[in-house]
Structure 1
Amino acid sequence: MQMKKIYNQTRNFVLIAMLVTVLGSCKKSFLEILPKGKVIATKTADYDLLLNQLDLINIPATSQVLLGDEISFIEPGWTGATYKEKQLFKWEGDLYNSDEDASETLIPTRNLYVYNKIINEVMDATEGTEVNKKSIQAEAYAGRAWTNFLLIQYFGKPYNPATAATDLGFPLITEADINGKNFTRSSVQQIYDQIISDLTTAIPNIISDGVPFRSRMSKAAAQGILAKVYVFMGRHAEALPLLDESIANLAKSIVITNVVNYNTSFQGSPTTVNDLENVYSKNMSYGYAGASNRLIWLTPEAASLFGPTDTRLIRQFLVTTYPNGLKLYKRTNTLSYNIGLKVPELYLLRAEVKTRLDDLSGAVADLVYLRQNRMPAADAGVPVLTAAAKMPLLQFVMEERIREFAVTGYRWFDMRRLSVDPLFTIPVYQHKVYNVDGVVSETYNFKPERFVFKFSPKVLAENPTLQDNL
């Protein structure tokens, strides 16, 4: 009900232009018509309301879930899967028909329009204080940065400082121009530079240090997002103080924002604004969960990473045992999932950064803090030999990320960044389909070019100057 109320408050302030994707095309005569009941944002409060609209919260981009190496398919779900689902699982590039909108660009580029409109106009709005205007603008800067970070994960190669200046990224869109055309792709480096600029501009001007409401940007969220960007760029020393500040600022939140102890108070499937672990809500509808959907399952290899008392496996997955002894686990209690920023990720990012910077004891402390909220304290420790050496501990952190975010799409993003990490070697990633007897019926090997998405035929047709990925 609260989400519906926000939408009702916001919709009358949304221009008709927000109903079309920035990368789309339409007739000018249509755009010149302002429907009855619509008003153009002029007051500071109008721009504030624009930040509440549902498109900024609900991001229907779930393709990354099917690209992770921790998932498998089973029959009869595999036979009944859609063309796109099968293509993703097989790591194929062509996902859409010529008339289909792509979930990877449709809502994110609409949102860029909204953020750019606020950034470029709010300081000239009527009413409101200078401080409030700067804070609203800062939220838009940070929201634009988060959106560009998602888009560069989809369409740009993993960040490699040696090639980022020439690797193709995504068009850099900084104007709220619905008539924009002739888009070309900026480099990966240019996109990352813009993301960093937006976040460093935003952080000092955001009024709320802690989380005021999970769908709105806070200083804690912006600091955490910038830290994550630095981690994905391999700039770990710059990420650490931001992670420290982000975690410290969570204590100043208006709404409770912390790690939930699954041993005593498992949340089940809360809405994104009621999930106590959400720092910044970007809600992904999770169509692969539910009792009637038997589409994707946790691989036996990934399931083996969990200990017997780990509540993340016990509470979040249902097990099916086949006659041959195979056990496959299906995620449940998840009708949606937050891909914005979560408290557990802040601790896991900090554990990773501390490990890379040779603070092994500090990394272990962060790991244990998270793990003791996921299993009995007696089982939450890190094995002694693992805790004493950098690479084993770093591998443990990566496995902890699988345990924490299994079958939610995080894994593919990690696969991307680790592919250019000199400390890691790319393994032979495989996807397997199991038949009704629990026997492997099909196997697909990972294609390295699927570290990026191809643009949809519709986007390419409307933007002939765009160069596609392979």
Structure 2
Amino acid sequence: MRTFKPRYIHCLVLFAVLAPQLSCKKEFLEIVPKGQQIATMTKDYRQILNTNYLTQSNASVYMGDELAALQPFINEHTLRAQRLFKYAERIYEADQLPEEMSSEEGYIRRLYVFNKIINEVMDSQGGTEMEKKAILAEAKAGRAICNFLFLTDFSTPYNPATAATELGIPGLTKADVTLTDFKRQTKQESYEQIISDLTDAIPDLGPLEHRRKISRLAAHFYLARIYMAMQNFDAAKQQLDEAIAEIPKSTIPLALYDYNKVLDPDADETWFPLLLGLFLVGSPQPAENTQTIYNIQVYAVSYVGGNANAFLLSPATIALFDPQDKRPNMFDPLEFNGSATFPLGMRHPIGFGTPVGPSLPDLYLMRAECRARANDLAGAVSDVELLRAQRTGAPAVPPAAAASKETLVRYILDERIREFAFTGLRWLDMRRLSVDPVYHDHVRYAHEVRSIEDVNSDGVAGDVVETHELDPKRFALKFGERMLRESKGLEENP
């Protein structure tokens, strides 16, 4: 999907507001000198909040089980991407900081700004009490979302039986760059802090009025996502119902796109043509995407040259789509800038960035899963078919899939793969399913590297030449030696 990166605008605004506190050194939390005041007026805090964009780490994209890799192109990609795909124990070298933490868009810098706002905005000047509370609420919700993304990368999946003793993430609530103690909370404490922030924020959040502003709808959505990660599907369903009740209150358009039209090259409303193999000319910008509730994006793979051919939808994923489904048109079956077709029907994504924040498709599929798990099969089918009517010429859930709770849940999980392939959202599902007593086998615990050559001389290209098993310990990235050296009390993942 055609998008643009806000990074450069973002950097200019942050430097204008926060300068000159960014240091040339790249230590764990080195952002502003001690005692440096960054704002005094309420409007200053609003400006800072409006530029503190959240992005999802692209690590989750490379690790999703809907992907395969293709030789020789994977060998030309970045070492980090190769290691993530291969579920390697080491992602970074000993002298490197994880980019998920230390980059401009990393969790630590985002948390610093959210904490600065939370701790200071109520004492700011020039704003009403209502304005200050609204800014505080958005910052608390932003901190919660950021911490959940942090947990997704650096802690293993939540297991109710062990969460009270397993490690979560550091509970960072102060905007102090001199802080040196980064002892990790338990996983239970980390999740409880996230739930507390979102719950506290909701009363002072407003309706959806901008896709870069956290609304009540977005907060209810994220509470549901948290509860689903915790296997509390009843609580998640309650939040999803609250979220859906917020949809009519939106002051901007919220609606599903009809992929039967916008992904049909021959339809009047089509997003095609495909420009240089890079993006669909007519597809909406993030701020105008009517399916998006809150715009969080992931910038996953390079779409230039051979790197665009390195990671593809696997043959098993391609097999999940029926012939009338239009979603495969979001992916290109041809090699980048070439006429050769990928073997076994594999495809690579079109576009530079993918919206992965709260969205209407995710909202309906999350509620469908919660309904199915509660044995409300008719309600679950209704939610799935609401989405599928906009995706395929065969929207009905097959009778065999709707016959029982378990078959329907599995069908919905497959529908999530069809809808969210190559976004990183499958990795979130893999994490929670890996500890699910019933659906843990709905995860493929291995990645395949296939060859574009006919390596076995059997007349068919795409043979498997490498297999990389997913050790459950790799659900959490390692912090690495340098980060441990610079962060007192931080414990490494196994």
> TM-score, normalized by length of structure 2?
0.86
Letter in 2 for 1:233: M
Tell me the CA shift for residue 265 of structure 1.
2.9
Tell me the CA shift for residue 319 of structure 1.
5.1
Partner of 1:13: 17
Partner of 2:72: 76
Task: Say if 2:231 is the partner of 1:234.
Answer: yes
Residue range with higher mean Cα deviation, 291-300 or 343-352: 291-300
Counterpart CA distance in 1 for 2:493 and 2:10 is 38
Query: For 1:218-250, what per-residue CA distance to the aligned partner results, in whole angstroms no more than 9, with x for missing partners?
Result: 010011111111111111111112212212212
Tell me the CA shift for residue 85 of structure 1.
1.7
Residue range with higher mean Cα deviation, 119-128 or 424-433: 424-433
Counterpart CA distance in 1 for 2:492 and 2:294 is 31
Letter in 1 for 2:346: L
Counterpart CA distance in 2 for 1:358 and 1:241 is 15
**Mapping of 1:298-377 within 5 angstroms?**
298-318=313-333, 326-332=344-350, 334-376=351-393
* SS of alignment partner, residue 185 of structure 2: coil
**Is the Cα contact below 8 Å between 2:334 and 2:341 reproduced in 1?**
no
Query: For 1:240-295, what per-residue CA distance to the aligned partner results, in whole angstroms no more than 9, with x for missing partners?
Result: 12212212212222221221111223554543323222111122223344565211
Tell me the CA shift for residue 68 of structure 1.
1.1
Counterpart CA distance in 2 for 1:20 and 1:399 is 46
Query: For 1:116-163, what per-residue CA distance to the aligned partner results, in whole angstroms no more than 9, with x for missing partners?
Result: 111111111111111111111000000000011111111122111111
Partner of 1:284: 298
| RMSD after superposition | 2.6
Structure 1: which 5+ runs fail to align? none
Q: Which runs of 4+ in 1 moved over 6 A?
A: 4-7, 18-23, 320-325
Partner of 1:262: 259
**Is the Cα contact below 8 Å between 1:230 and 1:239 reproduced in 2?**
yes
**Is the Cα contact below 8 Å between 2:385 and 2:395 reproduced in 1?**
yes
**Mapping of 1:210-249 within 5 angstroms?**
211-249=208-246
> TM-score, normalized by length of structure 1?
0.91
**Is the Cα contact below 8 Å between 2:342 and 2:452 reproduced in 1?**
no
Q: 1:32 to 1:468 in 2, by over 3 A?
A: closer
**Is the Cα contact below 8 Å between 2:141 and 2:198 reproduced in 1?**
yes
Counterpart CA distance in 2 for 1:324 and 1:178 is 49
Letter in 2 for 1:31: P
Residue range with higher mean Cα deviation, 62-71 or 94-103: 94-103
Task: Say if 2:74 is the partner of 1:85.
Answer: no
Residue range with higher mean Cα deviation, 231-240 or 395-404: 231-240
Partner of 1:183: 182
Letter in 2 for 1:138: A
Task: Say if 2:420 is the partner of 1:424.
Answer: no
Task: Say if 2:221 is the partner of 1:197.
Answer: no
Counterpart CA distance in 1 for 2:221 and 2:25 is 28
**Is the Cα contact below 8 Å between 2:292 and 2:360 reproduced in 1?**
yes
Letter in 2 for 1:164: A
**Is the Cα contact below 8 Å between 2:334 and 2:340 reproduced in 1?**
no
Partner of 1:439: 463
Task: Say if 2:138 is the partner of 1:142.
Answer: no
* SS of alignment partner, residue 224 of structure 1: helix
Query: For 1:275-327, what per-residue CA distance to the aligned partner results, in whole angstroms no more than 9, with x for missing partners?
Result: 22211112222334456521101110111000111111124332579999722
Q: 1:17 to 1:363 in 2, by over 3 A?
A: farther
Tell me the CA shift for residue 67 of structure 1.
0.8
* SS of alignment partner, residue 186 of structure 1: strand
Counterpart CA distance in 2 for 1:201 and 1:324 is 50
Counterpart CA distance in 2 for 1:25 and 1:127 is 30
Tell me the CA shift for residue 20 of structure 1.
8.6
Tell me the CA shift for residue 10 of structure 1.
5.4
Aligned residues: 457
**Is the Cα contact below 8 Å between 2:256 and 2:390 reproduced in 1?**
yes
Q: 1:32 to 1:195 in 2, by over 3 A?
A: closer
Counterpart CA distance in 2 for 1:249 and 1:7 is 33
Letter in 2 for 1:253: S
Letter in 1 for 2:260: N
Q: 1:400 to 1:430 in 2, by over 3 A?
A: same
* SS of alignment partner, residue 168 of structure 2: coil
Q: 1:214 to 1:123 in 2, by over 3 A?
A: same
* SS of alignment partner, residue 40 of structure 2: coil
Q: 1:330 to 1:458 in 2, by over 3 A?
A: same
Structure 2: which 5+ runs fail to align? 264-270, 272-279, 454-461
**Is the Cα contact below 8 Å between 1:224 and 1:242 reproduced in 2?**
yes
Q: 1:78 to 1:120 in 2, by over 3 A?
A: same
Tell me the CA shift for residue 7 of structure 1.
6.2
Tell me the CA shift for residue 23 of structure 1.
6.9
Q: 1:249 to 1:11 in 2, by over 3 A?
A: farther
Partner of 1:31: 33
Partner of 2:459: none
Partner of 1:167: 166
Identity of counterpart residues, as a percentage?
37
Query: For 1:355-391, what per-residue CA distance to the aligned partner results, in whole angstroms no more than 9, with x for missing partners?
Result: 1111111010010011111112xx0010112112000
Partner of 2:125: 126
Tell me the CA shift for residue 425 of structure 1.
3.2
Counterpart CA distance in 2 for 1:6 and 1:155 is 26
Tell me the CA shift for residue 49 of structure 1.
0.7
